[in-house]
Amino acid sequence: MVRTERIVPISYTNLIILIIRLMAVSGAVVWTVYYKPAGFTKISPYIIYIDLFLIYIYIIFFIIRFYCDKRSKIYCLFTFVFDQLVISYFIFNTGGYFSPFYAGYFITITIAAFVVGLRASLITAAAGMIFFVLANIKYGVSIYNWFDIIYRIVPFIMIALPTGILSYKADNFIERIDSLNNKLQIKNKELNESLQTIENMQAQLLEREREKAMLKLTENMAHRIRNPLMSLGGIATILDKKLKKGV
């Protein structure tokens, strides 16, 4: 993914979204098959096959995601628009305006905002608005219906805009944190280099002080030994002269 990768690994994000999609589709199929309130249209006998087809498509989406890094934003946006289409299909078959699957639009828009960003959430919301209108055409188009449709699609933008802005702000905040962390790492590296330089200078200074101490000690020892040696040398010279004279 794009914006959540700083918090959660991309593979985990993809897996979570896949699980949500599979659970949502399977739950929707179970609901449409076993719970049929009055007034709902006849459910297609092929709903189970449609469910299996959607599961297959979502697994393909999950696999393809790992091979489209260069166009990840476009691909993620496409998958969220497809989600809106799937939601509209279930709305089309379960009562239109008052379908319980209406809330699925908001979930998809919110996830798109935090995964891809503000622009993607607005596009996903616009796609949901169009699909929602198309899904309700068969239920009749009148002034009342249009007011009801407008009343129901306006919240799409009301959800997409703040969540997208929040995602944008959060992403900028994370980028600032990353920038500060990078600067801190650079400063820490410079500090470590400075400490290493200081340690090297201290080691050199200690070595020089040790050499000076050894030199001074050697000079003192040489001075102390030189005087007795000079005395012995003088005595040896006198004795040598006397020996030569035969004394």
What CA–CA distance (Å, rounded) separates 81 from 126?
9
Residue range 156-163: mean pLDDT, rounded? 88
Residue range 129-139: mean pLDDT, rounded? 83
Q: What single DSSP character describes residue 46?
A: T
- Segments in the chain forming alpha helices (H): 10-34, 47-64, 72-93, 103-115, 118-135, 143-245
Burial of 236 (0-12, 13-18, 19+ CB in 10 A): exposed
| Residue 163 banded pLDDT, cuts 50, 70, 90 | confident
Flag whether pLDDT at 71 surpasses 60.
no
Taking all residues of the chain, what is their mean pLDDT, rounded to a whole number?
79
Lowest mean pLDDT among 12-16, 60-64, 84-88, 194-198: 12-16
Lowest mean pLDDT among 76-85, 137-146, 158-167: 137-146
